[in-house]
């Protein structure tokens, strides 16, 4: 396997809730640009990002370029019963693979909720480094995430980081797109 690209970014930093709140506009602009969503999505998402900051185990890591502009962002928190995503995924895994499998993945996990890199700085290893730094500080046994079915750069990255299939072609309530739910055990050791 080839070595991971060396990130060409000025610095990575863990952000506190207050720090992300003060940079929320930049972060949401980055998110909307990376996902190619309509501009209004940023305003819609703001309350959700603010609410997520209050969850147990919430952590956020960002990358900044030499002009101190945000080049990438990742955050997540401890998954728990009662959270919308947890309930959706648990139902899907239980239906398809049984309760034992669902509990094995979901009893103690960190949900990697958002991961985005500015399009002009993608493909330089920033995404991989954000994931590594984010999960390095979590005490959980597993990390789980969902991503629209690929192929995509996100899928390439998750496979390189040894994420395996938990659920494929899964439809979350209210979203017609098929998603993959991927997971792996922690700690995340370097795949190379």
Ligand X SMILES: CC(C)(COP(=O)(O)OP(=O)(O)OC[C@H]1O[C@@H](n2cnc3c(N)ncnc32)[C@H](O)[C@@H]1OP(=O)(O)O)[C@@H](O)C(=O)NCCC(=O)NCCS
Which residues are catalytically annotated?
158
Of the candidate residues 2, 47, 165, 176, the single one contacting ligand X (CB under 6 A):
2
In angstroms, rounded to a whole number, what is the distance separating the alpha carbons of residues 96 and 29? Answer: 37
Q: Does 127 bind ligand X (CB under 6 A)?
A: yes
Element at 60 (helix H, strand E) = strand 59-64
Q: Does 126 bind ligand X (CB under 6 A)?
A: yes
Q: Does 45 bind ligand X (CB under 6 A)?
A: no
Element at 183 (helix H, strand E) = strand 179-185
Q: How far is the CB of 99 from ligand X (least distance, A)?
A: 26
Q: What is the DSSP string of 17-46?
A: HHHHHHTHHHHHHHHHHHHT--TTHHHHHH
Q: Does 76 bind ligand X (CB under 6 A)?
A: no
Q: Does 178 bind ligand X (CB under 6 A)?
A: no
CB 16, CB 135: distance < 8 Å: no
Of the candidate residues 29, 83, 94, 122, the single one contacting ligand X (CB under 6 A):
122
Of the candidate residues 20, 117, 135, 144, the single one contacting ligand X (CB under 6 A):
117
In angstroms, rounded to a whole number, what is the distance separating the alpha carbons of residues 136 and 155? Answer: 20
Binding mask 5-24 for ligand X (x = CB under 6 A): x-------------------
Point out which span in 16-24, 45-53, 87-95, 145-153 binds ligand X (CB under 6 A). 145-153
Nearest to 51 by CA among 83, 91, 15: 83
Q: Does 113 bind ligand X (CB under 6 A)?
A: no
In the block, tokens 């060396």 appear at 6
Q: Does 180 bind ligand X (CB under 6 A)?
A: no
In the block, tokens 């959270």 appear at 83
**Closest residue (Cβ) to ligand X?**
127
Other C-beta atoms closer than 10 Å to the C-beta of 40 total: 9
Which positions lie near ligand X, rule CB under 6 A?
1-2, 4-5, 34-35, 115-117, 122-128, 147, 152-154, 156-157, 160, 191-192
């Amino acid at each position: 396997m080839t070595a991971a690209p060396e990130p060409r970014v000025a610095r990575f930093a863990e952000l506190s809730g207050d720090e992300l709140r003060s940079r929320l506009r930049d972060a949401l602009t980055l998110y909307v640009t990376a996902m190619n969503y309509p501009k209004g999505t940023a305003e819609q998402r703001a309350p959700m990002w603010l609410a997520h900051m209050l969850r147990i185990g919430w952590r956020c890591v960002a990358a900044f370029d030499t002009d101190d502009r945000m080049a990438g962002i990742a955050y997540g928190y401890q998954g728990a019963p009662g959270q919308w995503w947890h309930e959706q995924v648990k139902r899907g895994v239980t239906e398809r693979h049984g309760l034992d499998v669902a509990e094995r993945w979901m009893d103690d996990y960190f949900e990697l909720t958002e991961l985005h890199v500015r399009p002009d700085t993608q493909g330089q290893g920033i995404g991989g480094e954000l994931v590594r730094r984010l999960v390095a500080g979590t005490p959980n046994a597993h990390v789980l995430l969902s991503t629209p079915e690929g192929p995509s750069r996100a899928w390439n990255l998750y496979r390189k980081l040894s994420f395996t299939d938990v659920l494929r072609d899964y439809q979350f309530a209210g979203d017609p797109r098929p998603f993959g739910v991927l997971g792996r055990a922690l700690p995340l050791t370097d795949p190379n």
